[in-house]
Structure 1
Amino acid sequence: MVLFHFDRSSRYDLVVERPRGGRSGPRGVFATRSPHRPNGIGLSIVELLRVEGNRLVIKGVDMLDATPVLDIKPYDPGLNPVT
């Protein structure tokens, strides 16, 4: 798991419209993948492909290039199940 800072997010609304429309109407910001969130910390569950010296090569990250990484944690599916 990679914890990161939403450093490019400057505002947020608690209720947002879905970006591609849809019939469900407005949703709470925490029910979406919007980067505009009251909490500036994101979490992405990734696959570690290999270690190259002091670099980790990962797959499946859900953040922008050059996003500040706050922490790296081992993934335990019993504690953090992916649904």
Structure 2
Amino acid sequence: MLPVLGVAGYFLIHCGFPIAPILLGLILGSVLEENFRRSLLVQRGDFMGFFYRPISGTLLVLTAILLIAALTVEARCFLKTRRQRDDGQPAE
């Protein structure tokens, strides 16, 4: 298992993926899953329980806004470099 993870880590570093989010996902993923299951048990499997309280709705809306903003910035950057490449200008 260790050689497989080592090769995967090498390719992730070689391709420019940041290591910190991957480590956070590996470490906190099980904690998040456990607490998500616990909250579903408390709500008897009802997903709408995540929207009933104002704080949870606020956090979900903020998360959606941040995801949309990040995707918009990436799309604009991609389109800008693509236009500059098509025009023959160097990218900034």
- Larger relative contact order, structure 1 or 2 (CA cutoff 8 Å, min sep 6): 1
Larger strand fraction of residues: 1
Fold equivalence (TM over 0.5) = no
Q: Give the structure-2-normalised TM-score.
A: 0.22
Q: Give the structure-1-normalised TM-score.
A: 0.23
